[in-house]
Structures are given as C-alpha cells and as structure tokens.
Amino acid sequence: MRGKRETAMIIDTHAHIGLGERLSDTYQVDQSVEVVLQQMAEAGVDKTCVMPVAYVDYAAAIEEVREAVAAHPDKLIGYARVNLNHRERASAQLQRCFEMYGFRGVKIHPGSGDGFPTRWFMEMMGEYGRPLLLHTTPDLAVIDAITHLARSYPKVPVICGHMGGFGVFNPGFVKLLATEAKQIENLYLDTAFVFLHQWIGMAVEICGPEKVLLGSDGPVLHPAIPLKQIELCHFSDSERGLILGGNASKLLGL
C-alpha cells in the first residue's frame, strides 16, 4: 500500500515574493523570485503559486507578481492580494488580476492588515470561481469565522493556510479544521509552515488526501521541507499524488 513514486506534477500552492513595506516583519520583506525559482529546482517542484508579501496598497505588489509570472509562465502561477478595507481599489485590482493578468487565486491575511473577507469580495470570488487562500491561526474565533465563510459561499474554494496550526503547540486546532474540511465540500488545508509531519498525517487521516494541498510559505520555508514531511507520512502513491499536485491542478484549472 505504501509506495515512494511521486506525482507527475508537484505544485507548491503557497509562496511569497516582493519587497514589502513592513520592515519589522522579516517574513514580509525582500522575498526574491530568484530564490523561489532556485528552491523549486532544488526541491523538484514543477510549479509554484506566488503571491505578494504584505503591503498597505497592493498595486506595486501585484505588478511584482505579474512581472514574475510573465517572465516564468511555465514555473509560476499568479495569486492576487488586496486590502479589503478599500473596496473600490481592491475590486478594481481583482478584476485586473483575473481578466488581464490571468491570476488563478487570491491570498488574504487578516492579521497583516488585509481585512477579513466581506460579502462583496466573496460574491466577486464566486463569480470568477477562484480559490481563496486564507491565513489561519490557532484561534477558535478565527476558525469559526472561516468555516462559516466557506459554508456561506460554497462556490468559492477556501484554503486554510497552515491548517490552523501555525506553530508547534496546537494540534487540536489542526484536528478541528480537518474535521470541518471533511464536512464542508469547499474547505481545504495546506501544509505551509506546519512544523510537525505527524500533523499532516493526522489531517489526511481525518479529512482525506483530497482536502490537503502542498504549501511551503516559501521562500522563508524551503519547499523541500514540507515535501520531506509528506514523504515521512508514508502516504500511498494515490494519496501523495493528490496532495502534491492533483488537488491543486483541479482547483486552479490547470
């Protein structure tokens, strides 16, 4: 049952690029597309979803992603990021990203000032049918809000970054989100910055391999690390194929 053959395509669904504005947060500044590409080659990743680091106004950040994807269309997949506190600007940016730039999804980080998804935003996401990647933290209120969001907008794939367990002390939140993902058809989890490989195995055991996607949060975390974690879980070939690329290919329309 347990094999070692990898999927035909490996897709990292969670990586950041850009200069950023918040100099106090080293995760959110000076993330180079060249480093992302180097890490992809080192880890054997075929495609990576790249999204901006934190900005107040994402106009420049979106341009950074657009240029990177245009230069490496066979390697990089563009994700938008917008500040939901400025509706008109964010709406125009999303429309441009989807209709002109060919971006495939959106990342929102409420804790970094992006705001929490609102009605107009989710209705727009539903119209375009794009996946929404949300930063998650081990907080019951956050998880409750995200699961309510997914249930309210079933046409929008909602990907929970970090499985709700950003850190090493909260496996109960991973169990909770995995349980919710089993019940909510459009709710998914990614492996970005999930520190313990046992948590990935636990999540798959609860919600199934079709609800988990490879993510690194690169280039801060090298994609070879979650790939090794997934290897250590000893999934079957079919399970690993879904997690490493099959699920992402379906959600992104590749």
Q: Return the HEC string of 91-104.
A: HHHHHHHHHCCCCC
CB atoms within 10 A of CB 32: 13
Q: Which segments of 26-177 are extended strands (E)?
A: 47-52, 76-80, 105-108, 132-135, 158-161
- Structural domains in the chain (count): 1
Residue 4 maps to a domain: no
CA distances from 82 to 53, 116, 143 (A): 11, 11, 21
Residue 140 maps to a domain: yes
Kindly report the pTM of this predicted structure.
0.94
Residue 22 maps to a domain: yes
- 107 conformational bin, left if phi > 0, alpha if psi -120 to 50, beta if neither: beta
Environment class of 199 (CB within 10 Å of its CB; exposed 0-12, middle 13-18, buried 19+): buried
Residue for token pair 């798959």: 204
Q: Which segments of 109-165 are extended strands (E)?
A: 132-135, 158-161
Averages of pLDDT over runs of 10 residues in the chain (254 residues) are 56 95 79 96 98 93 97 98 96 97 96 92 96 93 95 97 79 93 98 93 97 96 96 97 97 93
CB atoms within 10 A of CB 249: 15
Residue 122 maps to a domain: yes
Residue 150 maps to a domain: yes
| Rounded Cα gap, residues 187 and 162, in angstroms | 13
What CATH number corresponds to the domain at position 191? 3.20.20.140
Residue 178 maps to a domain: yes
Residue 47 maps to a domain: yes
| Rounded Cα gap, residues 116 and 110, in angstroms | 5
The domain of 136 spans 11-252
Residue 205 maps to a domain: yes
